[in-house]
Structure 1
Amino acid sequence: MPRVLTETDVADFRERLCAAAERLFAERGPDAVTMRQLASELGVSPMTPYRYFQDKDEILAAVRANGFNRFAEALEQASDHAAGDARHKGAAVGDAYVTFALEHPHTYKLMFDLNQPDEGRYPDLVEAGRRARATLRDYVKGLIAEGVLAGDPETVETMFWAAAHGAVVLELSGKLPPGTAKELHHAMGQAMSRGLRPDPA
């Protein structure tokens, strides 16, 4: 008779399984990883992962949700600890974005470089993604409120996000030398900020 699992047991195993899955998904691609391989990584029977997750898609959603939450936490901490006005907060959030992506490339690629079908089936993943976008949008709202930028907050935030993502992907793919993404991100941010300044009264 299998022993009764406590909440701590379940949480610990799910965390270990997600850590192994993140590495294998990043190394081989999600399609090439099987539940049997995940079980083997942890030294458990092939059926054990099914006690914790319905299927591989649910594991992938959990891995991605964890990544988005860690990403959002890094951005939130950068914003909270930045001294000064909205410009300083914006610069800190931008630096945190690039730093996280370059320090956790496998996590970043799983978050943004794949289209997981039926994401709406996984509310934790949806909420984690929303949290990350909200942090990016909040600093843009601050810049607009202080009169530094003008425009629709969602559109402006998407522009800055696209610029940061593009610089990061180019460096991660070896198209830019190490360290270039952060420099390029700063230059693009300054250029866009000049173009988005409010019209003089």
Structure 2
Amino acid sequence: MAKKPKTDEEIAAFRDKVCDVATRLFIERGPQNVTMRQIASTLGVSPMTPYRYFQDKDEILATVRAEAFHRFSANLEQAVQQAPDARAKARAVGDAYVAFAKTYPAAYQLIFSFTQPDEERYPELRQANLRAQETMVAYVREMIDAGLLEGDAQLIGYMFWATLHGIVVLELASGLRGMDGDTLREKIMRTLYAGMRVNPPTLEH
């Protein structure tokens, strides 16, 4: 008797299992050291089973990275939406950014520690990446429109992004010995605002 075809829900559930296992292996060993056979073995299925759901390891990596990008963007977008005014957006984004990295370190690593030379092959990953980039610039554009900042929104947004990323990486690696990450973030941001000759939004809680 032929096997009953899997439902869409069953297919989605197994894909999620593959992604969960692969994510753990990617983080532990690095994507270059993970094979489809290892993923299958960890799942307890035959070596060919994952190929019924994904073309190859790169597609799995692209899928889990896209999901991580979307989760990252959603967290920051929600923080911006909840900020009471344009002046509060910078603090809201910074707090949400740090909270995401500390709460979901595996997702953060998938986003920023790993890259794929053929990302253009995966439209979902490309769109997720673009969403994250827009998220890190859109709130700056709103601050410029409100007269709180002057300059190129993308450049300023990327300056803030680089600052947040650097602090987060140092904190996760226990590299800020003797220095509180929030204090460092506040001082750097104030210095950046002063360099742009504008009054900084309040950074105190």
The 5-angstrom pairing of residues 118-137 of structure 1 reads 118-137=118-137
Task: Give how far 1:166 is off.
Answer: 0.6
The 5-angstrom pairing of residues 1-201 of structure 1 reads 1-83=2-84, 85-177=85-177, 180-197=180-197
| Worse overlay, 52-61 or 35-44 | 35-44
CA gap 1:48/1:182 in 2 versus in 1, 3 angstroms: farther
CA gap 1:41/1:121 in 2 versus in 1, 3 angstroms: same
| Worse overlay, 102-111 or 160-169 | 102-111
Stretches of structure 1 that go unaligned for 5 or more consecutive residues are none
Match of 2:202 in 1: none
| Worse overlay, 66-75 or 35-44 | 35-44
Task: Give how far 1:78 is off.
Answer: 0.8
Task: Give how far 1:177 is off.
Answer: 4.1
CA gap 1:43/1:124 in 2 versus in 1, 3 angstroms: same
Alpha-carbon separation, structure 2, partners of 1:4 and 1:12: 14
Matched residue count = 198
State the 4+ residue runs in structure 1 displaced beyond 3 angstroms. Answer: none
1:188 is aligned with what amino acid? I
Alpha-carbon separation, structure 2, partners of 1:178 and 1:15: 41
Task: Give how far 1:183 is off.
Answer: 2.8
Secondary structure of residue in 1 paired with 2:6: coil
1:42 is aligned with what amino acid? L
Alpha-carbon separation, structure 2, partners of 1:33 and 1:149: 45
* Identity value in percent: 52
Task: Give how far 1:147 is off.
Answer: 1.1
Task: Give how far 1:86 is off.
Answer: 1.1
Alpha-carbon separation, structure 1, partners of 2:104 and 2:50: 25
Task: Give how far 1:106 is off.
Answer: 2.0
* Root-mean-square deviation over aligned CA pairs: 1.8
Task: Give how far 1:178 is off.
Answer: 9.3
Does the 8 Å CA contact 1:148/1:198 hold for their aligned counterparts?
yes
Alpha-carbon separation, structure 1, partners of 2:39 and 2:178: 32
Task: Give how far 1:182 is off.
Answer: 3.0
Stretches of structure 2 that go unaligned for 5 or more consecutive residues are 200-205
| Worse overlay, 36-45 or 150-159 | 36-45
| Worse overlay, 68-77 or 104-113 | 104-113
Alpha-carbon separation, structure 1, partners of 2:197 and 2:136: 18
**What per-residue deviation string (whole Å, max 9, x for no partner) do you get for residues 81-119 of structure 1?**
222x21212211111011111222222122112221110
